[in-house]
Structure 1
Amino acid sequence: MKVQIWADVICPWCGIGRHRLKAALERFEHADEVEVVHRSFQLDPGAPAGVARPVAEMLTAKYGMDPAQVAAMNARVEELAHAEGLKPYIVADNVVGSTALAHEFLAHATAQGMHTRAWDHVLTAYWGEARPVFTVDALVSLGEEIGLDPAGTREALTDRRHRSEVEREAARARALGATGVPFTVVGDRYGLAGAQDPETVLDVLRRAWDDAHRP
């Protein structure tokens, strides 16, 4: 059974949602027969490439929130992530920017047979260490750490060979009804919007499995 999860690298709820999916799979009776596929979705596809700014600055500009509101919201997300075992999980002191190159890097890594490993590494680097993921140089370094050829990675990111693939994945999510991420599709039948709790995800996994194996 296939589970597809659309996410953006800089979406804090995506990291939490992915963690909850893993927790649900640990309790799912047929987890060894589940293939988890990560899909790309940019929350801000119009963001300028190579430009990063503090999370607080972005939230203030985008939603008109005052600094106290921003600080409180970021603290709540961090506390929730820490309570679920994601620690460190850096939200307030992180930066955001265009994730176009990051998703193209993930597509390149997938083509090299490192799909899950690359997603794990990028998300851990960003949320666990607040490392930048917005430039070719930063992504080449991350790739080298998991065994990707730096010259090949740089070439793939420079010639933008995976750009259309990333755009198609986002278009597919929107066609399925996604308006944001995380967005999870279980067994090509059930859709889950948002970072649902492990119990809800587990229930959907079981229902999708039963549907697929019903005589």
Structure 2
Amino acid sequence: MKVEIYSDIACPWCFIGKRRFEQALDLFPRKDEVEVVFRPYQLVPDAPEQASPHRAWLAERYGPQSVAMDARVAELGKAEGIDYDFDTALHVNTFLAHRLLHLAETEYGARTQVALKESLLTAHFSDGVDVGDREQLTRIAVAAGLDRDRVAGYLAGDEGTAEVRAQLAEARALGITAVPTFVFEGRWAVQGGQEASTFLRVLEQVAAETAEAAEQHGQDRQTGPADADAACADGACAV
């Protein structure tokens, strides 16, 4: 089973959603058969490349309620083992970091990409790191197992730019307007940082659906796209 997670490094709910999904995956009997890949999405595609304080940016965008927004997310994060530090977090464009995640997936594999994603989220939300800075990104990538020279050269050029832009366009074509969005087998989608129990039900449902489809195919029956109504149980809806 392949799960593609559309996510942004600057999205606090993406961090919560990642942790909850991983909890569900740990309880899923066929965990070893699941491939998890992160796909790019930018909540603020026109964010500046020069970092600035997160608090100031959020207050400008949402006004006085921004403090309560951060406080709520921070409280929910504690339950997932996440230490949000919004006082030191920085607002910056995440495109460069998405390029780095693309490199990790294509040259090192999905598991390395997942580890790098965790490191980037932690750096951004807990450590006050500028995830738009090439030197900082290189340091994080090396710690995740990537080659220093390869990363430095990659980030200095424009490799991966066209591919990441194409994936961002694909997200728009799929109708994804919020993150995190979890797409299972390219057919079913779950939006938001759902509870682990919800993700587990979806994993079980998709596994059952795909097993049934494989059985029907083996019996030379015609199979078509999943029925949208049938696929919308337990929060999982067809893309």
Aligned twin of 1:7: 7
- Give the one of 97, 106, 113 matched to 1:102: 97
Q: Distance in 2 between matches of 1:24 and 1:6?
A: 18
SS at match of 2:194: coil
Distance 1:169 1:81, change over 3 A: same
Q: 2:72 aligns with which of 67, 73, 76?
A: 76
Task: State the shift of 1:119 in Å.
Answer: 1.5
**What's the CA shift for 1:118?**
1.6
TM-score calculated relative to the size of structure 1: 0.91
Q: Per-residue CA shift, 1:140-192, capped at 9, x if unaligned?
A: 22122233332321221121111111112222222222101101101222111
Partners of 1:91 and 1:112 lie apart in 2 by 33
CA distance in 2, matches of 1:130, 1:149: 24
SS of 1:207's partner is helix
2:37 counterpart SS class: strand
- Per the alignment, residue 152 of structure 2 pairs with 154
Distance (whole Å) between structure 2 residues aligned to residue 132 and residue 118 of structure 1: 15
Letter in 2 for 1:52: A
Are the aligned partners of 1:48 and 1:98 in contact in 2 as well (CA < 8 Å)?
Answer: yes
SS in 1 for 2:126: helix
| Equivalence for 2:107 | 112
Shift, 1:111, TM fit: 3.0
* In 2, Cα distance between equivalents of 1:207 and 1:62: 39
SS at match of 1:112: helix
5+ residue gaps, structure 2, are: 216-239
Q: Percentage identity across aligned positions?
A: 37
- Secondary structure of 2:44 counterpart: coil
Query: Deviation at 1:3?
Result: 0.7
- The alpha-carbon distance between structure 1 residues 147 and 203, as it changes in their structure 2 partners (threshold 3 A), is closer
Structure 1 residue 128: deviation in Å? 3.0
Residue equivalent to 2:35: 35
Alpha-carbon distance, 1:29 to partner = 2.0
- Alpha-carbon distance in 2 for matches of 1:2, 1:210: 14
Q: Which has the higher contact order (CA 8 A, sep 6+)?
A: 1
* Runs of 4+ residues over 4 Å off in structure 1: none
Instruction: Please name the residue that 1:194 is paired with.
Output: 192
Aligned counterparts of 1:163 and 1:62: Cα–Cα separation in 2: 28
> Are 1:184 and 2:179 counterparts?
no
Amino acid at match of 1:4: E
Which residue identity is paired with 1:35?
A: E
Given the two structures, how large is their TM-score scaled by the length of structure 2?
0.82
